[in-house]
Amino acid sequence: MRQNKSIRLGVNVDHIATLRQQRLGKFPDPVAFALKAQDAGAHSIVAHLREDRRHIQDDDIKRLKKALSIPLNLEMSIAADVVAIALKVVPQQVTLVPERRQELTTEGGLDVVKQFTKLQPLVEQFHKKGIDVSLFIDADEAQWQATKKLGASTIEFHTGGYADALSKRTQQQQLKAMQKSSTAASQAGLIVAAGHGLDVHNVDAIASIPEIEELNIGYSIVMQSLSVGFNAAVKDMLRAMKRTRRIARQSV
């Protein structure tokens, strides 16, 4: 029987840092906003240390780890210098994503099948440090099977294809693929998360997939916060998720 698990919200603070980097100053500070998200009920904080350091900086990661009492999920590529920082800071979780310098944001899932031999020693290194590993992938059986084989605990499905679909038909196809993969991957013992392009309007269909245990959301929360404030924007998202699912209790 499919189990309706409770669901958690990871708030991504990258775009607080995007704004700061426009003037290369100190404000707005992503750590201060991560703490606001924590107060508003977020279950974890997500930050992507990109190779080009366009938003989050090395020091932000160190400060986030120190300041937060909820888990830090460090999104990252497998670039050697970023891996070294992760191993030094020891966030509770890393989410490995593909990265292209020219892209505006992460455009697709990681090709775990193709990169299996490169990823294997890295996953081992993270596990040795007690860091949970998640892989950001498309809703594809070969990809989640490869993730399982790597020994990673978690997969995060890229919801961009669903969120940005130009027709209802494509959106439904994307949703179906995610429903199918979520059920199968969860039955295989993986923790299933999802994210990218989700907002209070499109989150219902994804949040109603019973096997999805976590949604990682950034851009729409930051955008919404311009009208209602950050605390209210996080709460609005939790409320939207709650329309279809029981929200997990705070992990602290």
- CA separation for the pair 206, 203 (Å, rounded): 5
Least separation in angstroms between CB 191 and ligand PXP:
14
E strand residue ranges, 97-246: 132-137, 154-158, 191-195, 212-217
Nearer CB in complex with ligand PXP: 106/143: 106
- CA separation for the pair 70, 167 (Å, rounded): 38
Mark whether 127 is an active-site residue. Answer: no
Least separation in angstroms between CB 62 and ligand PXP:
20
Residue 67 vs residues 8, 56, 58, 72, 89: alpha-carbon distances, Å = 20, 15, 15, 10, 12
Mark whether 196 is an active-site residue. Answer: yes
Q: Is the N-terminal amide bond of 28 cis, ω within 30° of 0?
A: yes
Mark whether 55 is an active-site residue. Answer: no
Bridge partners (DSSP) listed for residue 134 = 95, 154
- CA separation for the pair 41, 34 (Å, rounded): 11
Please give the residue ranges that form the binding site for ligand PXP (CB under 6 A): 12, 14, 48, 75, 95, 97, 105-106, 136, 156, 195-198, 216-220
Nearer CB in complex with ligand PXP: 55/65: 55
Instruction: Give the containing element (helix H, strand E) for 11.
Output: strand 8-12
Least separation in angstroms between CB 1 and ligand PXP:
29
Nearer CB in complex with ligand PXP: 1/22: 22
Catalytic option among 196, 211, 213, 214: 196
Residue 158 contacts residue 138 (beta carbons within 8 Å): yes
User: Sign (positive/negative) of CA torsion 239, 64, 215, 104?
Assistant: positive
Catalytic option among 55, 75, 99, 211: 75
Among residues 95, 74, 223, the alpha carbon closest in space to that of 158 is found at 95
Nearer CB in complex with ligand PXP: 20/196: 196
Nearer CB in complex with ligand PXP: 156/211: 156
What is the set of active-site residues?
48, 75, 196
